[in-house]
Amino acid sequence: MYEQHFGLSELPFSLTPNTHFFLNLPTHQEALNLILVALENGDGFVKIVGEVGTGKTLLCRKVLNALDGDYVSAYIPNPYLSPDDFRRGFARELGIELESIDDGFSLLERLNQRLIELAGQGKRVVLLVDEAQAMPEETIEALRLLTNLETESAKLFQVVLFGQPELDQLLARHALRQLLQRITFSYQLRHLDMEGVGQYVNHRLSRAGYNGVPLFDQRAVKLLTRASAGTPRLVNILGHKALLCAYGKGEHRVTSGHVCRAVDDTEGVALPWYLRLAGGRA
């Protein structure tokens, strides 16, 4: 595509959550530090909330990659499951053979045995649940009951929930108040400001092999910030399209006009007329 034109080794604004592009911006680094400290201290539940496109899945994968050999991780990316399917998914992540387990009691017994085995080996088990706002209420309650599995001195596993703001609404239900009380740490991911967007864009370009003067000029970054509202996923979408526009015109820097064209081609984003007028057209 445009990689050779801009001196890139790969696409810089792919929507795939790739930890190669993780940037230690304050909001994401603070969330990462909080999770790792909470896990080290043995806290039961941690909750990370962020709007659509703010990088929750990327952060989740960063946590998975950061856990050393003392941890055994279980990852459930789509928790819209029945309680039994959720437990079976957790068991499968822990390496439990499910073929011979045909009832809920046997599954719980085998889960308990496996968790005790891992604790005996000095392993800490961490369950990470992405898109947790999609969990049915009865499944969240099943998860709470699972966390009752413990030794005399410690819980047998810890939980990190990643979700959209709807997760807070879900956990505020009266029926789920017991789980809400078990959340020891929570963090809300923030949108990026203009400085953060500039750092984000330059970082991704650098990780993709770019080496030169800033590829997006200052006005382009300003419009990119305004149109995306500082949401990383939208920055990726608009940044990719702006690069396409510049490439199509044979130009080697991205200007505000290219960003305006990218905005025009993207549903759900817009720029005020006065910013568009100031940005001009490519």
3-state SS, one letter per residue, for 148-163:
CCECCCCECCEEEEEE
pLDDT range class, residue 281, cuts 50, 70, 90: very low
Q: What is the mean pLDDT of residues 123-148?
A: 95
Q: Which CATH superfamily includes the segment(s) 26-188?
A: P-loop containing nucleotide triphosphate hydrolases (3.40.50.300)
pLDDT number for residue 282: 42
pLDDT score, position 273 = 63
Q: Where in the chain is the domain with CATH 3.40.50.300?
A: 26-188
Percent over 70 (pLDDT), the chain: 96
Q: Which amino acid is at 211?
A: N
More confident site: 49 or 272: 49
Of 280 and 137, which is predicted with more confidence? 137
- Quick one: pLDDT at residue 152? 65
Per-residue pLDDT averaged across 65-87, rounded?
95
In terms of pLDDT, which residue wins out, 118 or 101? 118
What is d(CA 144, CA 50) in angstroms, rounded to the nearest whole number?
Answer: 22
| CATH tag, 192-279 | 1.10.8.60
- Distance CA(77)–CA(161), nearest Å, equals 11
| pLDDT score of 117 more than 80 | yes
| Closest C-alpha among 214, 244, 236, 208 to residue 9 | 208
Predicted local distance difference test score (pLDDT) of residue 92: 95
Q: Which of 21-35, 87-101, 143-157, 182-196 has the lowest mean pLDDT?
A: 143-157
Which of the pair, 7 or 152, is modelled with greater confidence?
7
Q: Is the pLDDT of residue 259 over 80?
A: yes
Average pLDDT of the chain?
92
User: What pLDDT sits at residue 185?
Assistant: 94
Statement: residue 79 has pLDDT above 70: yes
Confidence at residue 154, expressed as pLDDT on a 0 to 100 scale = 77
Residue 32 clears pLDDT 90, i.e. is over it: yes
pLDDT at 277: 65
End-to-end C-alpha distance for the chain, whole angstroms: 20
Question: What per-residue confidence (pLDDT) applies to 180?
Answer: 93
> What pLDDT, on the 0 to 100 scale, is given for residue 78?
94
Residues carrying CATH 1.10.8.60, the chain: 192-279
Average pLDDT over residues 235-259: 96
270 with 263: CB under 8 angstroms? yes
pLDDT beyond 70 at 94 = yes
pLDDT band at 44 (very low <50, low <70, confident <90, very high): confident
Model confidence at 125: pLDDT above 90: yes
User: Do 164 and 133 contact (CB within 8 A), yes or no?
Assistant: yes
